[in-house]
Amino acid sequence: MSLSLAKGYAMATCKPQVVLAHVLTGLLHGAMELKAMYIDNIPVVLIVGQNRTHDGEVEERLAPLPIVY
């Protein structure tokens, strides 16, 4: 949705827009709008990233599960 808003604002003001998006869901939801902006030659700066986790949350989630016999 943020890319759609940026597209409309850029079309109205003729100024390039900056959009911050999450690397997975934000980019996935905005992929078709990003393609439409590319085809329509609408300038946009898209910054994607992933939020920081607390207390090793990523390492715990990605750790292998223990084998139980």
Burial label, 53 (beta-carbon count in 10 A; 0-12, 13-18, 19+): exposed
Question: Can you give the pLDDT at residue 63?
Answer: 55
**Residue type for 11, please?**
M
pLDDT in tens, the chain (69 residues): 888 999 999 999 999 999 988 887 788 888 889 999 999 999 999 888 876 655 555 555 555 656 665
Would residue 9 count as lying in a domain? yes
Find, among 25, 13, 14, 19, the residue nearest to 50 by Cα: 25
* Domain extent at residue 15: 2-50
Q: Is there a domain that residue 6 lies in?
A: yes
In the chain, how many domains are there?
1
Would 55 be classed as within a structural domain? no
Whether residue 37 is contained in a domain is answered as yes
**Does the pTM exceed 0.75?**
no
| 16 is a domain residue | yes
Is 30 inside a domain boundary? yes
Residue 31 maps to a domain: yes
